[in-house]
Amino acid sequence: SQQGEEDPQALSIQEGENATMNCSYKTSINNLQWYRQNSGRGLVHLILIRSNEREKHSGRLRVTLDTSKKSSSLLITASRAADTASYFCATVGGEIKAAGNKLTFGGGTRVLVKP
Amino acid sequence: DTGVSQDPRHKITKRGQNVTFRCDPISEHNRLYWYRQTLGQGPEFLTYFQNEAQLEKSRLLSDRFSAERPKGSFSTLEIQRTEQGDSAMYLCASKRQGGTSETQYFGPGTRLLVL
């Protein structure tokens, strides 16, 4: 079953604009990760934020985490056509026996960046 | 290219046939995961291995599914008596447990279509 929901399900923006997507989850977590998937391809890891962190940056990516609201956001600044992809958040559970660090994914946000 | 390979990339089969997929992880990675992704959804965990030991299986993994990792290197996922509902992308991922990185590296996936 999916851990949480992503919002919006789809996003269409012009090149140069910022893209923001949100992820909500249900249970306690050890960390939350964001992945990108180009159409019909495998997933590429973008960024990881631990449960004791609130914000993290990597290049044009900014991730926030609010554990009190069980939510995270991913911001892509100055988007490019090459950013067109589906973006998924995934959590690793916070239980002591966090079952093998398996990832529990949300449903994804499909982002279209128009040139 | 993440270094994780999967074969075949595409498989079309008729209902009732058996299919087998292979995953070659990054060589020093002792953890190997299988996920399934249906169209428009996020991946869902199926099973994982630590070296050659299969440590967890999801309820999604019916008794028609079997996975092996005989020497702790490559892994195979077999589906017996395929059903149309098995049509999906099957993703493999690997990571090195015990290291500082918690990133899972995904292969390109095997897309299965059951007619």
| pLDDT at residue B99 in the model | 62
pLDDT band at B100 (very low <50, low <70, confident <90, very high): low
What is the distance of C-alpha B94 from the center of its chain?
10
What CA–CA distance (Å, rounded) separates A114 from A21?
17
| pLDDT at residue A40 in the model | 78
Q: Which residues of B touch A100 (CB under 8 A)?
A: 31, 33, 48, 50, 55-56
The number of residues in chain A equals 115
| pLDDT at residue A1 in the model | 47
Answer whether A3's CB lies under 8 Å from A27's CB.
Answer: yes
3-state SS class at B71:
coil
The average pLDDT across A60-81 equals 96
What are the beta bridge partners of residue A1? none
Find the residue in B nearest to A49 (Cα).
B102
pLDDT-wise least confident of A22-26, A38-42, B4-8: A38-42
Mean pLDDT score of chain A, rounded to an integer? 90
Within an 8 Å CB–CB cutoff, is residue B60 touching chain A?
A: no
Residue A23: count other Cβ atoms within 10 Å of its Cβ: 28
Residue A97 has pLDDT above 70, yes or no: no
- The Cα of A65 is separated from the nearest Cα of chain B by a number of Å equal to 17
DSSP run (H or E) holding A106: none
Tokens of A75: 């911001």
Mean pLDDT score of chain B, rounded to an integer? 94
| pLDDT at residue A32 in the model | 93
In percent, how much of chain B has pLDDT > 90? Answer: 84
Question: Where does chain B show beta strands of DSSP type E?
Answer: 5-7, 10-13, 19-24, 31-37, 44-50, 53-57, 65-68, 75-79, 88-95, 105-106, 110-114
The average pLDDT across B84-113 equals 90
Side-chain-side CA neighbours of residue A5 (13 Å): 3
| pLDDT at residue A7 in the model | 87
Q: Do A45 and B104 count as a contact with CB atoms less than 8 A apart?
A: yes
Mutate which: A23, A31, A45, A95, vs B, most B CBs within 10 A:
A45
What CA–CA distance (Å, rounded) separates A10 from B8?
30
Mutate which: B59, B104, B110, B111, vs A, most A CBs within 10 A:
B104
Task: Tokens 């953890």: give the residue.
Answer: B31
What CA–CA distance (Å, rounded) separates A89 from A23?
6
The average pLDDT across B30-46 equals 94
